[in-house]
Amino acid sequence: METDFEPKIIAFVCNWCTYAGADLAGTSRLKYAGNVRVIKVPCTGRIDFMFLVRAFEQGADAVLVSGCHPGDCHYNEGNYYARRRWTIFRKLLHFLGIEEDRLHFAWVSAAEGQKWADLVNEVTARVRELGPFTGYRQLMEKSRLTQSAEVQPLERK
Amino acid sequence: MIEQLRAKAKEILEKGDASVIIGYGRGSREDVATPVFITDSARIDEMVFNPHCYNNLMTFVTRDDHKRLGTPAVVAKECDMKAAIVLAQEDQVKEDGMLLLSVSCEEMGRADAACRFNGVMTIPQAEEWLKQNYLPAELTPEKLARVEEIEKMPAQERWAFWSKEFERCIRCYACRQACPMCYCRQCIVEKNQPQWLSTSAHPAGNMAWNIVRAFHLAGRCVDCGECERACPMDIPLVSLNRAIQKEVKSAFDYVSGYDHAGKPVMATFRKDDEEDFIK
Ligand code: SF4
Ligand code: SF4
Ligand code: FES
């Protein structure tokens, strides 16, 4: 495995809990892995699964989704709907052959700066072990090929 | 049985219980049937039913051009009845907005298979009938055999398998057109403000499309298999659908097509839903 591999992890976090938690980690000057790019959304209920697909298309090695603990959602129920969605969506990706460690879910409250820092460290370590997401990258590279002048004939089984 | 079916259909039209019969008619060959829309009872003899009547006719009841024909009575096999139930559940038809001419076929595709007419049913009646007669046939080990085979592959092999399958996709969207549950007037794949997925038939666009198609049917697919049958590239879409059905069943103890009055499983929640995957 390449030793200088730095995982690129995209985190979709809700505005009210996890973003504030991550902010707290920052203001508390906690040191943690710098591999996560945070994208703030209003609520975990707002995270369409297409966000995750797009993250992988854009070269993410893993995706992290985090929001308020059950019962704490700013919109009361968003995270309950989200939880149902992820329960099935992660299984679909698993069935398609995406390793489970490329998808992480967590509840991090505004007070849990330390949990956020530990979470990012843990996810980064796991993805580092897994290596880059070459599967999706190959898909993208191949697509550029077919998009170029040399269109590859598709063979029927 | 065809005589019984025609007689009932005729009676329904003449009594005015429905204004159009959506059924099957003779196709261009022996082994195909084609949908027919009959508003005049004099044409009732155009109706046929045989082991080649594959189409899920529920695809028509949500389309505007057919809605204009008024209340339909639809010839429906078990999966088609389930589709009607999901349509009612999702408020696409009213509970009393259609009649079902329930039919069964011993084995679709086998020319000499026996066919049966089960009677005229409303959507709630169809639900009761299915619970009695069809629920045990859902997600049987035979139906899940292929899913389990794929699950046994190591992750990378699975990825290679599906990438290769999806690579053949030509983005004809026949899978979507054939699906009774794909009734959106504008599909996400045709939206370009913003454009969520590439419409080009390249490997990345095809992966995204097939993820979208499969997941938008999570907890809704009635396992009629029409998507796969329509696919000109023989992509094993049913395995993908069934993998999701299996997870929905194990996580939420839910099989779609048996609860016209309840909430769609992915549009609701329980506070104590399992969450062992969440840190
Ligand atoms: S996804 Fe396929 S099997 Fe499921 S309801 Fe639609 S056409 Fe039928
Ligand atoms: S029917 Fe088959 S080839 Fe056509 S869009 Fe669907 S999966 Fe692709
Ligand atoms: S606002 Fe944080 S999960 Fe809904």
How far is the centre of ligand 3, averaged over its atoms, from the C-alpha of A107 (Å)? 9
Look at residue A152 and tell me if it is in a domain: no
Is A157 inside any structural domain? no
Given a cut of 60, is residue B165 above it in pLDDT? yes
Cis omega (within 30 of 0) for bond into B203: no
8 Å CB contact between A96 and B211: yes
Residue A67 lies in a domain: yes
3-state SS assignment for residue B76: strand
Provide the pLDDT for residue B198.
86
pTM tops 0.95, yes or no: no
Q: Where a domain ends, among B88, B108, B133?
A: B133
Euclidean distance between CA atoms B228 and B205, whole angstroms? 19
Tens-digit pLDDT profile for residues B211-269: 999 999 999 999 999 999 999 999 999 999 999 999 999 999 999 999 999 999 999 99
Are residues B113 and B159 part of one domain?
no
Domain-terminating residue out of B104, B133, B162: B133
Residues B145 and B212 placed together within one structural domain of the fold: yes
Task: Using a pLDDT cut of 90, give the percent of chain A over it.
Answer: 81
B165 and B81 within one domain: no
User: Same structural domain for residues B129 and B94?
Assistant: yes
Q: Identify all chain B residues contacting A102, using CB atoms and an 8 Å cutoff.
A: none
Identify all chain B residues contacting A157, using CB atoms and an 8 Å cutoff: 168, 234
b/e map B83-120, b = 16+ CB within 10 Å? bbbbbbbbebbeeebbbbbbbbbeebeeeeeebebbeb
Any domain includes A154: no
- Euclidean distance between CA atoms A42 and A29, whole angstroms: 25
What value of ipTM does the predicted structure carry?
0.93
- A3 within a domain of the structure (yes/no): no
- Gap between the Cα atoms of B140 and B181, Å rounded: 22
Residue A143, pLDDT score: 85
Query: What span, in angstroms and rounded, lies between the C-alpha atoms of B16 and B31?
Result: 33
Say whether both B181 and B248 belong to one domain.
yes
Q: Which residue of B has its CA nearest to A152?
A: B202
pLDDT (tens digit per residue) in A102-157: 999 999 999 999 999 999 999 999 999 999 999 998 998 888 744 333 334 444 44
Domain co-membership, B222 together with B239: yes
- Give residue-wise pLDDT tens across range A61-74: 999 999 999 999 99
pLDDT at B110: 87
pLDDT of residue B55: 93
Contact yes or no for B168/B202 (Cβ under 8 A): no
CB nearest to A80's CB, from B167, B197, B271: B271
Query: Cβ(B230) to ligand 2 under 6 A?
Result: yes
Task: Give B175-218 pLDDT, tens digit per residue.
Answer: 999 999 999 999 999 988 888 888 889 999 999 999 999 999 99
- Position B159 scores a pLDDT of 96
Residues B126, B176, single domain; the answer is no
Tokens at B87, concatenated: 């349509």
Q: Which residues of chain B are within 8 Å of residue A137 when distances are taken between CB atoms?
A: none
Q: Which domain holds residue A98?
A: 9-145
Residue pLDDT, tens place only, B27-66? 999 889 999 999 999 999 999 999 999 999 999 999 988 8
- Residue B265 is predicted with a pLDDT of 97
Which has the minimum average pLDDT: A139-143, B5-9, B170-174?
A: A139-143
The one-letter amino acid code at B136 reads P
Count of domains forming chain B? 2
pLDDT of residue A3: 64
Question: Is B119 a residue whose pLDDT tops 50?
Answer: yes
Residue A2 has pLDDT above 70, yes or no: no
Report d(CA B250, CA A154) in Å as an integer.
Answer: 37
Taking the C-alpha atoms of residue A156 and residue A130, their distance in angstroms, rounded to an integer, is 33
Pair (B81, B172) in one structural domain = no
* Same domain, residue pair B205 and B248: yes
Does residue B279 fall inside a structural domain? no
Amino acid at B35: P
Axis crossing angle, helix A134-147 with helix B203-216, rounded to the nearest 10:
120
Can you tell me the distance from the alpha carbon of B73 to that of B98, in angstroms, rounded to the nearest whole number? 6
A121 burial via Cβ count (<10 Å: 0-12, 13-18, 19+): middle
How many DSSP H helices and E strands does chain A contain?
5, 4
Of B204, B274, B277, which has the smallest distance from its Cβ to A105's Cβ?
B277
Q: Residue B153 and residue B135: Cα distance in Å, rounded?
A: 29
B175 lines ligand 2 (CB under 6 A): yes
pLDDT at A150: 39
Question: What is the rounded average pLDDT for all residues in chain A?
Answer: 89
CATH number at residue A112: 3.40.50
Q: What is the pLDDT of residue B197?
A: 86
B49 and B148 within one domain: no
Q: Per the domain annotation, does A153 fall within a domain?
A: no
CA distance B224 to chain A (A): 19
Tell whether ligand 2 has an atom less than 6 A from the beta carbon of residue B258: no
Of B84, B107, B133, the domain-final residue: B133
Percent above pLDDT 70 for chain A: 90
Task: Tell me whether residue B270 is in a domain.
Answer: no
Which residues on chain B are in Cβ contact (under 8 Å) with A146?
200-203
User: Chain B 195-224, CB below 8 Å of chain A: which residues?
Assistant: 196-198, 200-205, 207-208, 211-212, 214-215, 218-219
Q: Is 60 exceeded by the pLDDT of residue A17?
A: yes
- How many structural domains does chain A have? 1
DSSP per position, B186-241: S-GGG--TT--S--S-SHHHHHHHHHHHHHHTTTT-----HHHHH-TT---HHHHH
Quick one: angle between helices A113-130 and A18-27, nearest 10?
100
The verdict on B128 and B149 lying in the same domain is: no
- Between CA B13 and CA B40 the distance in angstroms is 8
Contact B273 A87 (CB under 8 A): yes
- Per-residue model confidence as pLDDT tens digits over B77-87: 999 999 999 99
Residue B269 lies in a domain: no
Structural domain contains residue A32? yes
The domain containing residue B64 runs over which residues? 2-133
Does any domain span residue B274? no
